[in-house]
Amino acid sequence: MNTNLPMLAAFVGAIALVAAATWWLLSDEAVWPGEVPTTSGKPVQRLLAVLPVIGDFDREFNVNDDNPFLPMKVRQRESALRKIKRLQPNSKEPTRPVVVTEVAIPTLQLPAAAARRKNAPECFGVIGSNRGMMVLARMPGSKDTRQLEVGQSIAETENANRIWIFIGMDSPNMARFRDPSGEEQIFRVGSALTAKNAEATAGIPAKSPVAPKQPTLNHQALPPSAPQQASPNAPRLPPNGANLPPGGWRTPPGGTPGTPGTEGARPRNWSPRSPDRPVDESGQPVQAPPPQPAP
């Protein structure tokens, strides 16, 4: 029997390949996902992690302040220090209440004015000008009022060799002078002592304001006024008022003859609705004749 060896070898290889593929497909063996297993060295060991059962947390565990990640000896020292610190009293001092006090308002301290001397200048006014401040001053016993600028002087009345020099104004009502001895003194401007004698000067008036008098009522009877005579140039009219021209006047019974506008005379047909204007017979107002000038 003639056999073809190459064909026989190919047939046997095909059968082996089909068998290997069938076994690989039908096998459920788990494949290790890690490194590729080899035949060299130790065989691959498969490990399985099993979680322990956690018991009751309140009864099976000792919950404390100890650090579980420290050795036992170090943990004991730490626990002893924590226990001592816990037993020590709190040394923090209590906060004291804040006491709020009112701030005292400072009082205004003005320079004390020098005592008024018998021969010291009396100042009773200040004048402002383009040259500066001037003070109105005069010496006691003198009626000569001086307008002193800064640097000017005024002499005493009894001794003309003793002069007072005006230095300047410390404030609007405080004037500073240098006396004959060279000492500086401050005088108040417009005090009652100097304003009393400043009536005749050109400064501030010294008289105190007087309340106006209230008018008093005079209950005495006034004397009777003399009747006003009519103008001699006025036309003479009949006393009974007959044949009066339009706008004429007549004398009422018991009245005084007069001209238009005088007391005791009323126009003819006088109407109470218009007592100041005469009317004619038809009731129309007429123009009264103008008064005649006195001769």
CB 280 within 8 A of CB 286: yes
Domain ranges within the chain, ordered by starting residue = 122-195
- Computed over every residue of the chain, the mean pLDDT equals 70
**Segment 6-29, tens digit of pLDDT:** 888 999 999 999 999 998 888 776
Q: Contact, 244 vs 220, CB < 8 A?
A: no
- What is the model's pLDDT at position 187? 86
| 51-52-55-60 Cα dihedral, nearest 10 degrees | -130
Distance separating alpha carbons of residues 182 and 154, to the nearest angstrom = 14
The reply to whether the predicted model has a pTM over 0.75 is: no
Q: What percent of the chain has pLDDT over 70?
A: 53
Contact 182, 167 (CB under 8 A): no
